[in-house]
Amino acid sequence: MRDLYQRLAVSPEANDQEISQAVASCQHSALRQDAEAVFAIAERRETYDTLHDTVSDIGRLRARLGLSHGAHWQGDVANDFSLPPDHAISRHDELVDRVSHAVSLYNRWRRLRGPWLLIAVFAAGAGIGIALGLALCLGLLPM
């Protein structure tokens, strides 16, 4: 499995016309024959594209997991689909970070709930008292 798009220097999203141009201008006759066989027919290109997507996904996974030089990843595939390691951190570490962040938020809420509840009850009581007093004042005057 080779990456024909990379070898022809076109993007995988290129339309048929661009690809046929690239194929026609290719100087490597064996590569040109292979590319013609794959890209001349729409169904074949579709089949090739799905496999191409899967294999490039695997290439990305291998780069992120540090498996770009595995024993099972050699030859044309490894040449064409290996990516340089990007600086994405480990997904598991990220998950652990986020869980611990959520836990700390939750704990803070639990810890602060007592005092905040007291303040809320006090404020509610005061509000009700003021309202009652006002009502009493207004109710008493006409009496």
Partner 1 sequence: MSIARFSPFELLLLKSRSQVDTATLLLLAWVLVHRQHVSEGQRRRRLAQVTAQFRHGHELGPVISIAHSQDLQAIQLAAEVVRKECGTERSLSVLHQAITVATDDGELSLANHYILRFLADLLNVAPITLSTLFKELTGTPLAPPEDPSRDAYWQTHDPDYHARKAREAEAAEQQHQQANARAEQQQRKKEQRHQQKQQKQQEKQQRQEQARQAREQEQQRQREQTRQQEQARQRQQQQREQAEREQQRSRQQGSRQQHHQEHRNRQQRASPPPPDRTARALSVLGLTPGATRIEVRHAYRRMAQLHHPDRFYSESEQQVALASARFQRIKNAYDYLMQTY
What is the binding site for partner 1 (CB under 8 A)?
1-4, 6-9, 22, 25-28, 31, 33-34, 36-38, 41, 44, 47-48, 50-51, 54-55, 57-58, 60-62, 64-65, 67, 70-73, 76-77, 90-92, 94-95, 98-99, 101
Q: Closest separation between CB of residue 113 and partner 1, Å?
A: 22
**Is the Cβ of residue 14 or residue 48 nearer to partner 1 in the bound state?**
48
Separation of alpha carbons 97 and 113, rounded Å: 24
Phi and psi based region of residue 117 (left: phi greater than 0; alpha: psi -120 to 50; beta: remaining): alpha
**Is the Cβ of residue 37 or residue 131 nearer to partner 1 in the bound state?**
37
**Whether 4 contacts 34, CB under 8 Å:** yes
The gap from C-alpha 74 to its chain's centroid, in whole angstroms, comes to: 28
